[in-house]
Amino acid sequence: MSKNAVLVVGDKKVELPILEGTEGEVAVDISRLRQQTGLITYDPSLGNTGICKSEITFIDGEKGILRYRGIPIEDFTDKPNFVEVAWLLIFGRLPNKSELAEFSALLTDNELLHEGLRHQYQHIPVDAPPMAILSATLSNLACFHQQLLARQDPESLAGAAARLISKVRTIAAFSYRRSQGLPFIYPDPGMRYCANYLHMMFSIPHRQYLVSPEVEDALNLVFILHADHEQNCSTTTVRAVGSAGANLFASCAAGVSALWGPLHGGANVEVVQMLERIHGGGMSAADCVQAAQDKNHPFRLFGFGHRVYKNYDPRAKILKEACDRVLTTLEYSDPLLDIARRLEELALKDPYFIERKLYPNVDFYSGVLLRAMRIPTNMFTVCFAIGRLPGWIAQWKELHEDPQRRILRPRQIYTGRAETRYVRMADRQG
C-alpha cells in the first residue's frame, strides 16, 4: 500500500500519510489537514476516527477477536486471575511471580477506606443508585490521597492504581450493604481479590460467607472479560478528562459516569429487566424482537449490537458457556437463561438483525451469570466498573506516556444563526 493518500480539494492536491497498525489496520492521518487546506473532517460520534495509537487491546470486530497485550481473551479463561490481567494491562506484559505477589500485597495494603469516607455513606439515601455512589466516592478518593494528585512519576501512578483497584471493591460492597441496612464488613487481608469482594458483600458478623471455587472463578472471569475494550465510550471519557491534566481518580470517576448509561455498561441491567419482563408475561421474546425494529419505539434489544463487533462478541460467547457451566455446577436453575437463549435464537434468525450484523454483546449473558452468584441487579454495572478499572488505568497511563499527547479537543460545524445583535428587553417583540 502507498504511504500516502491523496486528497484533491478544488485545484489543490494534498498528500495525507497512511498509518498502519501491527495487525494491518490502516488509517489516513488528517492531523494537519486543516493547516494544509482549511478543512476539518466530520465524523459525528467518532465512529470512523482513531483518537490515539494504543498498544493495549486489539479488536477485530469482523472476525470477533479480542486480545489484551496480544493475548487472546480465551487464554485467560482456564484459571482466571483478574489481578494478573490487571497487571498485564497496566504494565504491558505478564508479571513474574514476585511482581504479582508484590502487586497483590499492595492491593491488600490499600483495601480499607478512610474512616471519613466510610462515614459519608450515612448521609446517602439508602436507595441511592450504586453507580452514583461509585462515581462520587472514586472522585472523593482525591480528597484523601492528595499526595498522589500532582505527581506523575511511575511510583505515584502505581500507588493511585492500587488504591483504585483495591478500594473499588470496598466502595461497591459498602454501597450494597447500606442499601440493605446491613453492617459494613471490612475486607479480609487473607483473602484473594474476588473472594474478598464476595466476603464484603455477603458475610454477616456472626457468619462468614464461604466462597465456592466455582463462584470465585466465575467472578474472576467476569472481571477479566470486562477489563479493557480499547476506545469505548467510558475509556474515551477517561482519556478526555485525563488529557486536560486531571488526576487518575477524577478521570476514572468520569469513566464510571459514562459506563452507567444504558447504551454502554448499564445495558447489563436493561437486559435482565427485559428478560424478567418476558418471564413475567409482560411481553414475549418475539414481541421484543419486533419492538426493537420499530424506529418510532424507544425500545432496543439490549445486549445486542456493537459499534465495533459485526460478529459474535467473543466475550458473550465465553459468558454464555460459563452460564451453562456455572449454573449447572451450582445447581441453580434460572428461567432467565432459557429466555435469553430463546431470544438470541429468534434475533439471530431475523432479517433485521442479520442485515445489520447485530449479535449478542458482553452484556447479554453477564447478568444471568451474576445473578447465579447472588449479585443483585443494581450492582451489575458496578461489577462491570470493577472489571474495567485496570483498562481505564492502563489507557490513562498510556496517554500520559505519549509524547504527542495534547488536550482532547474536537471541532464542530457550526449550524446556528449567523451574527445577530443583542436586543434590549424593552425592544423585544412579543
Binding site for ligand ACO (CB under 6 A): 232, 263-265, 267, 292, 300-307, 356, 358, 361-363
At which residue does the C-alpha cell 489537514 appear? 33
Is 306 tagged catalytic? Answer: yes
Candidate list 199, 306, 313, 350, residue with the active-site label: 306
Which residue, 58 or 174, has its beta carbon nearer to ligand ACO?
58
Catalytic-labelled residue, pool 217, 228, 350, 363: 363
Q: Nearest approach, Cβ of 266 to ligand ACO (angstroms)?
A: 8
For residue 397, the minimal CB distance to ligand ACO (Å) is 22
CA distances (Å), origin 325, targets 1, 36, 45, 192: 46, 58, 38, 22
CB of 271 vs ligand ACO, minimal distance in Å: 7
State which residue, 167 or 388, has the beta carbon closest to ligand ACO: 388
DSSP H stretches of helix in 204-313: 213-225, 233-243, 248-260, 267-279, 285-291
Q: Which is nearer to ligand ACO, 57 or 110 (CB)?
A: 57
In the bound state with ligand ACO, the residue whose beta carbon lies nearer, of 195 and 267, is 267
Cell 464484603 locates to 200
Rg value, the chain, Cα: 24
Count CA within 13 A, CB hemisphere, residue 418: 0
Smallest distance from ligand ACO to CB 287, Å: 13
Q: Is 392 buried (19+), middle (13-18) or exposed (0-12) by CB count in 10 A?
A: buried
CA dihedral sign of residues 166, 169, 170, 172: positive
Nearer to ligand ACO, 332 or 352 (CB): 352
The angle at the Cα of 150, spanning 145 to 156, to the nearest 5 degrees, equals 65
- 359 within 8 A of 320, measured Cβ to Cβ: no
CA atoms within 13 A on the CB side of 415: 2
The residue number with the shortest CB distance to ligand ACO is: 305
Least Å from the CB of residue 230 to ligand ACO: 12
Active site residues per annotation:
306, 363
